[in-house]
Amino acid sequence: MRITAEPAFVLHARAWRETSLLVEVLSENHGRLGLVARGVQGQKKHVLRAALQPLQHIRLDAVQRGELAQLVSAEALDAAPRLAGDAMLAAFYINELVMRLAPRQDPHGDLYRIYGQARARLGSGEALAWNLRRFERDLLESLGSGFDFREDADGVALDPAARYRIDPEQGPRRLLSDRGREERNTAATGSGLLALAADRQPEADDLASLRLALRSVLAHHLGGRGLKSWEMLGELGRLRQRE
């Protein structure tokens, strides 16, 4: 199958053999694709190599044969956002989530769109935590694993004053008051979930409560192997506590 003038975002690229790259992209019409970019390490190929860096928005031509497609050409459609520090780590996390959860060659036009929105927000200076929670919500929805966060698993409207754990298969489950402290600390507030459903940035404590609650859902869909970015975030947090 020939793929022509296909818009895509570069998720990951690594060296392969002496002169080539293995590249993962999220394309608009063909979903996630694995590409072999041959002969891109020469001095005359620096423009092409630059277009194949993570976060870059490109237009590509390729020929799909089996699991990997052979890249024919690629050109940058814009300049990738210049990120550093926490914003760069957030971008790495978003890319890793897509590579782990989105199947190859399975079109997800909505995912392409929400990835582009998250990428733009990374470069705009918008609050990182809120950007990531929105992306996690939309990613799950686009893959058919999302929930209506306005109500619990039994169809009862959420109580803003209550706390909820998120069952990965059924959705929010209200915590009883006698639940242990650890379980309560990993549950989301009702007000936080309602704000997420309304696409309205929650108050700081409510926003913070969403992180581990959504992570439990993502961990379920990731299976037994977590994300490298979670390990990096945990190590960064420990280093900051020592400062």
* DSSP category for residue 79: P
CATH code assigned at 135: 1.20.1440.120
- Are 60 and 113 found together in one domain? no
- Are 183 and 68 found together in one domain? no
Could you tell me which of 121, 125, 92 has the C-alpha nearest to residue 11? 92
pLDDT of res. 44: 65
State the residue range of the domain holding 72. Answer: 2-76
Specify the amino acid at residue 46. H
- Are 32 and 150 found together in one domain? no
Q: How many CB atoms lie within 10 A of CB 184?
A: 14
Cα angle, residue 34 at apex, residues 25 and 11 outer, rounded to 5°: 30
In percent, the amount of the chain with pLDDT more than 90 equals 72
Mean pLDDT across the chain: 90
Of 76, 103, 124, which one is at a domain's C-terminal end?
A: 76
pLDDT of res. 99: 96
- Are 24 and 129 found together in one domain? no
CATH code assigned at 20: 2.40.50.140
The tokens of 150 are what? 């306005």
Could you tell me which of 143, 68, 134 has the C-alpha nearest to residue 102? 143
Cα angle, residue 144 at apex, residues 65 and 108 outer, rounded to 5°: 35
- Are 6 and 48 found together in one domain? yes
**Angstrom distances, CA of residue 83 to CA of 87, 89, 124:** 6, 9, 10
- Are 100 and 43 found together in one domain? no
- Are 70 and 129 found together in one domain? no
- Are 123 and 43 found together in one domain? no
Of 16, 48, 76, which one is at a domain's C-terminal end?
A: 76
Cα-to-chain-centroid distance, residue 41: 29
- Are 55 and 160 found together in one domain? no
Specify the pTM: 0.90
- Are 105 and 222 found together in one domain? yes
- Are 126 and 216 found together in one domain? yes
Of 76, 107, 137, which one is at a domain's C-terminal end?
A: 76
Q: How many domains does the chain have?
A: 2
pLDDT of res. 161: 95
- Are 50 and 97 found together in one domain? no
Which ranges of the chain have pLDDT less than 50?
Answer: 238-243
Q: 21-56: per-residue pLDDT in tens?
A: 999 999 999 999 999 999 887 666 778 888 999 999
Q: Report the side by side order of strands in the sheet with 171-174.
A: 171-174, 163-167, 188-189
